[in-house]
Amino acid sequence: EELETSKEELQSINEELQTVNAELNIRVDELSRANNDMANLLESTQIATVFLDRDLCIKSFTPTARDLFRLVESDVGRPLAHVRPRFPADRLQADMEQVLLRLGTIERQVEGTDNGRRYIMRVLPYRTVDNVIAGVVVTFVDVTQIARAEEKIGVLSHDLRNRVESLETLLDLVPVGIFIAEDGDGAEIRANRRAVELMGQRSTGDKLISVPAVLPLTLNGVKVDAEEQPLRKAIRTGKPIPGYEAQILHENGSGIDVMMSANPLFDENGKVRGAIATLVDISSHKEAERSQERLLHELQHRVKNILATVTALASRMVGTSSSIGDFFSSFQQRLQAMGRTHEVLSSYNWRDADLEQLLRAVLTPYS
């Protein structure tokens, strides 16, 4: 009976051992899968990682860590300081010791001596699931492409700044007023120095100056509505507004004639994002037109006077001439005298002429 009882107990223990063994096999499989997952994760991220214990000896490392250290499988258990690095690692030992002491994280940028690639090195404490510091983890993230992109962005930004500065200098030098509106609903626009001067304001040292979006434009003495001004109209309609003539009134009551042209600006989607306009002072041109009209009027008046004088001479000499030959000779002499009179008057710009010179020019043929 005792043997029977012992046998049953052994069978019971054996069954328990089989159960425990099955559970252990399951745990081993789970651990194996976890290790495989972790290995694939570290491999897929391409992040070089070295795990160290509290003595800063190597516990394990990822395959990409060989790009930063001359590691072999037999280096596990050796201090990391005994492994020759492939980057300047003068401060690595001190950083690892400091991380163990202060439990913080240190991050630096390093560059490989063999391949010239750039990495972000992070040194952080190795924590167990029980939140126990069991060593140090050193990771290296390859940021070569990011660094090169940042360098390229820096070069492009520098070039862009130079181009913008050159453009602003050009806008400041051109003898044409220029307005730039980057927002159709904005209360202010930017203007170059010449535009500010044409508006009758004092320009500052800035190359582009903020001015009110509504310009002091008038047309035939009537103030131009804000929405009908070329800059706003170009933004609203999305079409260029060429050759718009108006007047600008200054605060002191004076004014100038101007011609304004505006073109809309579009973004990459074809949507209006603003407008740019030019402002030209045409006061001298308008004054020249008025002077031309006065000259034409004066010319018409003088031609009428000359024709009236010639008509009067002809009428008078017809009655006093004895023959056609006598009329022709006298009429020709009178016309020549009138021509000489006009020459003298023209030499004095039709102003105060010398009377003696006029008389000599007219009477010399008869002396």
Residue-level length of the chain? 367
For the stretch 31-70, pLDDT in tens is: 888 878 777 777 777 789 999 999 999 999 988 899 899 9
268 and 210 together in one domain: yes
Domain assignment of residue 170, yes or no: no
188 and 275 together in one domain: yes
* Number of domains composing the chain: 4
- The sign of the CA dihedral 201, 206, 212, 214 is positive
Domain assignment of residue 162, yes or no: no
Q: State the chain's mean pLDDT as an integer.
A: 86
40 and 68 together in one domain: no
Whether residue 133 contacts residue 54, with contact meaning beta carbons closer than 8 Å, is answered with yes
Query: What is the rounded CA–CA span in Å between residue 92 and residue 112?
Result: 14
For the stretch 289-299, pLDDT in tens is: 888 888 888 88
The token duo for 83 is 């492994």
* Helix, strand, coil percentages for the chain (3-state, nearest 5): 50, 25, 25
Q: Which domain, by its residues, includes 4?
A: 1-45
Whether residue 159 contacts residue 152, with contact meaning beta carbons closer than 8 Å, is answered with no
Q: Which residues pair with 52 in a beta bridge?
A: 58, 136
314 and 276 together in one domain: no
Mean pLDDT of 222-247: 90
35 and 57 together in one domain: no
Q: What is the CATH number of the domain that holds 91?
A: 3.30.450.20
Q: 65, 68, 133, 130: which is closest to 103 by C-alpha?
A: 133
Residue 325 has pLDDT above 70, yes or no: yes
The beta strand positions in 11-62, using DSSP E, are: 48-53, 58-61
Residue 365 has pLDDT above 70, yes or no: no
Domain assignment of residue 153, yes or no: no
For the stretch 110-157, pLDDT in tens is: 998 888 889 999 999 999 888 889 999 999 999 999 989 999 999 999
Domain assignment of residue 149, yes or no: no
Q: Which of 263, 281, 299 marks a domain boundary?
A: 281
Q: Which of 281, 309, 337 marks a domain boundary?
A: 281
273 and 295 together in one domain: no
Domain assignment of residue 158, yes or no: no
Q: Are strands 241-249 and 217-219 parallel, antiparallel or unpaired?
A: antiparallel
CA-to-CA separations, 293 to 276, 290, 306, 322, in angstroms, rounded: 35, 5, 20, 45
195 and 267 together in one domain: yes
For the stretch 156-207, pLDDT in tens is: 999 999 998 888 888 888 889 999 998 767 778 888 888 888 888 777 767 7
Largest CA distance in the chain: 188
Domain assignment of residue 172, yes or no: no
Going by pLDDT thresholds of 50, 70 and 90, the confidence category of residue 350 is: low
Higher-pLDDT residue of 275 and 328 is 275
Domain assignment of residue 200, yes or no: yes
- Helical pair 283-320 and 324-347, crossing angle rounded to 10 deg: 150
Domain assignment of residue 301, yes or no: yes
Highest mean pLDDT out of 89-93, 199-203, 313-317, 327-331: 89-93
- Supply the pLDDT for residue 113: 87
Q: Which of 28, 45, 62 marks a domain boundary?
A: 45
CA-to-CA separations, 361 to 20, 340, 348, 357, 367, in angstroms, rounded: 144, 6, 14, 6, 11
Q: 95, 67, 62, 99: which is closest to 81 by C-alpha?
A: 95
